Structure 1
Amino acid sequence: MSATTYDRLVEIVTKLHDAPEDRISPDVTFAQLDVDSLTMVEISMRIERELDVHIDDNELEADLTLDATTKLIDAKLAA
């Protein structure tokens, strides 16, 4: 079974940011996980490298949920 985009995103976020697993859910925002701006850039770069999707700096924002980020990635993959 291949990993879903959401699962891969969670893997990227948890590798780069030490958020407790019990706080990870589709409706949590990066801000709620206390992800700082430098880590947001690192997450964006990792998404581009691992998922082959370019995310502009202004697209990945602190108030995005993990679900919304997954939908953004999936939309770019489908384009």
Structure 2
Amino acid sequence: MSATHYTALVDTLTSKFDLPLDQATPQTSLGESAVDSLALLELSLILEEQLGFSIPEGALHTSQSLQEAAEALETLHASQPATA
């Protein structure tokens, strides 16, 4: 798991979605983080801007743990050229 992707995910969840930092563990699911389908879309858009690559709809889902979501982001990032 990339620390960069995990850190960006946790930072966004704690700052924009009010997830308490002590609840942001690798095993916490996005659903447990109070992220519903609409918030998941917003989260994806914020992460796209921060990380500089496209996150297609469905790449992140509420049943993923934060670790699994970070791994999905890492895989997506590795498969795409950076955007300007």
Is the TM value for this pair above 0.5? yes
How big is the alpha-carbon RMSD for the aligned residues of Structure 1 and Structure 2? Answer: 1.4
- 5+ residue gaps, structure 2, are 80-84
Q: Report the equivalent of 1:63.
A: 63
Q: Report the equivalent of 1:17.
A: 17
Q: Report the equivalent of 2:48.
A: 48
SS in 2 for 1:4: helix
Q: Structure 1 length normalisation: TM-score?
A: 0.85
> What amino acid is the match of 1:33?
S
Task: Give the aligned length.
Answer: 77
- The superposition leaves residues 38-61 of structure 1 with CA deviations (integer Å, 9 ceiling, x where unpaired) of 211110001111101211221211
Runs of 4+ aligned residues of structure 1 deviating over 6 Å after TM superposition are: none
Q: Report the equivalent of 2:82.
A: none
- Distance in structure 1 (CA, Å) of the matches to 2:32 and 2:22: 12
